[in-house]
Structure 1
Amino acid sequence: MSVKRKKLLIDTDAGVDDAQAILIALQDPDVDVIGITCVMGNADAKQVGLNVLRILKVADKLDIPVFVGCNDPLLGDKKPASDYHGSDGFGDAPDKEAPDESLLQSEHAVTALVRLAKEHEGEMTLVCIGPLTNVAMAIRMDGTFGSRLKGCYIMGGNHEGKGNMTTSAEFNFYSDPEAAYVVLNQLKSPITIVTWETCDRHSLPWDWFQTFHHSQTVFGLFLSNIEKSVISNFYQPFFDQGICKNYEVVDQYAVASAIFDDVIIEGDAVYASVELRSPLTRGQMVVDWSNVTGNEHNVRIVKKINTEVIEEKLQKVVS
């Protein structure tokens, strides 16, 4: 009996972790990536689109449509791009044979999201691994957008108040807090969130990463090339101080959770929203653990992940 293929639409800001996450989906025989929408985050939206084309080229999947979307947050309060993945999101690693930008679709990512949700109603899972501006705009354009989705998986936010951009805000939600607020409160679709703390708690052993990083396959060399600056600038200083740091896996968890049933070990259904007004906690995801508000649960927060599955899937990418 044949397995019904899962239909994924990935909304991304295409840094190195996004590349690994997208390749997990592209290599799975039971997954159809029906489109990839691009949003500002690790780089400007158009550069994100060019990065995605590089991923698709190495995977021989340039037939998958790539749509460039929003380059500014909902309220225009644009934050400086993080330099973690370099100025272009791919470690400023040049590619003389990169696909031409003419391969980017002319249709805007937001209208593509709305259209594809209608064309694949009840079948399409949306995976968000960047700021949520495109998705919030799709909700504004069509209030029934979320109800057409099979589900939505998000990497973003924080459920313990620990931030990686400010003391209390995670990068994707911090980049456009209003968009995150709209999505959590108005999407009208089952939402699963892999938060920053969950990712941090499930980082992978450096010994494992060394094997992964030194793969000489086409995919292995591609990923190693775009991650060189991250290793040099953000991991090596720890090692120079004699500190053994684990390898951070982030967006990979959201994509894998959407595809594989054995990734999520534990998760809690709760009501969560996003703080917009406080200068101290703007962009923080606020979770009603004790049901103080009495609001209906709107998200499932992943708290425990099967890291062995992730190690296996990532290793398969570079094998």
Structure 2
Amino acid sequence: MAKRPLIIDTDCGIDDAQAIMMALAAPDIRVLAVTCVFGNTSVENVCQNVLRVLDVCERQEIPVFRGSGGPLVGASSQARDHFGTDGLGDVFKDQDPQWEQKIQKEHAVNAMIRLVNENQKQVSLVALGPLTNLALAVRLDPGFPQKLKDLFIMGGNMEGDDDGNVSLCAEFNFAMDAESAYVVLEDFLCPTYLASWEFACRNALTWVRCGRGASPQNAPAAVFMRTVTSRCWAFSQEASRNKRDVHFGPGFVSYDAYAMAACIDGSVVTESIECPVRVELQGSMSRGMVVLDRTDELKKSHNVFVLTKCDAEKFRRLLVESVRQPRR
């Protein structure tokens, strides 16, 4: 059976790294490229983080492309440091002096358009960071979305009760570039699946179930993930001691991995809401929030699948497989 081609667009933080590893471990997935965007850290750090993940997994043949260094409109917001200043918890002191030579010369947006044109109706696109690269792609090639097989997005907050992410009503990825999120959810008419902030938080795993408390694994990917999640583990322990929810809460929430899992195995998702959506841009408190239109007020022809429940055991197995010895 032919492997399904996949492009990963990422602002590579800790959960992005886990999602990338999940894709690399999936036996029926072929990662065509990783495109980088600002978000958890600068786009330069993102490129280096992706190269580090590919090195750990011995998949250096996968091309990495540098993309947008800021939002579609306005100046970049200051990224929060939940994942450290470098996006991976500031746990690595070494830096590859040759990293820039390992990044492809072609811009990420151009590469995305080219690869999809070469594989029309075959490529799944998984977007794990701000949607700037995707918005630019549809502006450069208005037919780009229709050439995709499907799109999976980690992002958005739809209930207005987000405490501890960015604002009352905005999830990080959408808040960092609300205009791009708006463009993508208006113009991408391919099958689209949205793994929101609430979806990830409500399907959290305990640290033991996700493998942190299990017997140590010596595979390089497992060692890498234990190292970069050490800061998340500390947040979680603080939450448990103080009986309050901080960024990661008392369990492990690998946000981006939920979108990747839905792409790899659709049966991971057990419930979703199918309806039109729109990203709010004007509200002083609700900018970046995703509005679900269940009463057809927007009169849109395109629906999005907003994920609500998942099979926790299937998701856990994908997480565990992602840190075993890499498979080609």
TM-score, length of structure 2 as denominator length: 0.92
281, 298, 314: which one aligns with 2:286: 281
**Contact 1:16/1:89 (<8 A) preserved:** yes
Gaps of 5+ in 2: none
Percent of residue pairs bearing the same amino acid type? 37
The CA distance in 2 between the partners of 1:230 and 1:126, in whole Å, is 27
Q: How does 1:22-37 map to 2 (within 5 A)?
A: 22-37=20-35
**Residues 218 and 97 (structure 1), Cα distance of their counterparts in 2 relative to 1, 3 Å cut:** farther
CA apart distance, 1:97: 6.7
Partner residue in 1 for 2:13: 15
TM-score where L is the length of structure 1: 0.95
The SS at the match of 2:229 is helix
Alignment of 1:132-211 (within 5 A): 132-163=131-162, 164-209=165-210, 210-211=212-213
**Superposition deviation, residue 225 in structure 1:** 1.2
Distance change >3 Å, CA 97–CA 180, structure 1 → 2: closer
Cα 1:214–1:238 change in 2 (3 A) is farther
Query: Aligned partners of 1:281 and 1:212: how far apart in 2?
Result: 41
Offset at residue 129 of structure 1 (A): 0.5
Counterparts of 2:80 and 2:294, CA distance in 1: 31
List per-residue Cα deviations over 1:76-120 (Å, max 9, x = no partner): 231101201000001112153746331011111111111111011
**Judging changes above 3 Å, is the alpha-carbon distance between structure 1 residues 282 and 223 closer, same or farther for their aligned structure 2 residues?**
same
Q: Write out aligned runs for 1:1-319 (5 A).
A: 3-94=1-92, 96=94, 98=96, 100-163=99-162, 164-209=165-210, 210-211=212-213, 214-232=216-234, 234-241=235-242, 245-319=250-324
Q: Distance in 2 between matches of 1:213 and 1:89?
A: 27
Work out whether residues 158 and 169 of structure 2, in 8 Å CA contact, stay in contact via their aligned partners in 1.
Answer: no
What SS does the aligned partner of 1:29 have? coil
C-alpha distance in structure 2 between counterparts of 1:317 and 1:191, whole Å: 24
Report the aligned-residue RMSD: 1.6
The one-letter amino acid paired with 1:70 is S
Q: CA 1:213 to 1:305, structure 2 compared with 1: closer, same or farther past 3 Å?
A: farther
Unaligned runs of 5+ in 1: none
Task: State how far apart, in whole Å, the 1-side matches of 2:123 and 2:278 are.
Answer: 24
Cα shift at 1:307: 1.1
Native 8 Å contact 2:237 2:250 kept in 1:
no
Alpha-carbon separation, structure 2, partners of 1:303 and 1:127: 18
Per-residue deviation, residues 31-88 of structure 1 (Å, max 9, x unmatched): 1000000000001111101100000001111110000100110112311012010000
User: 1:139-176 CA deviation, whole Å, 9 max, x = no partner?
Assistant: 11110111110000000112322332100001110010
Once residues 222 and 249 of structure 1 are traced to their aligned partners in structure 2, the CA distance between those partners, rounded to angstroms, is: 15
How far apart, CA to CA, are the structure 1 residues paired with 2:221 and 2:308? 30
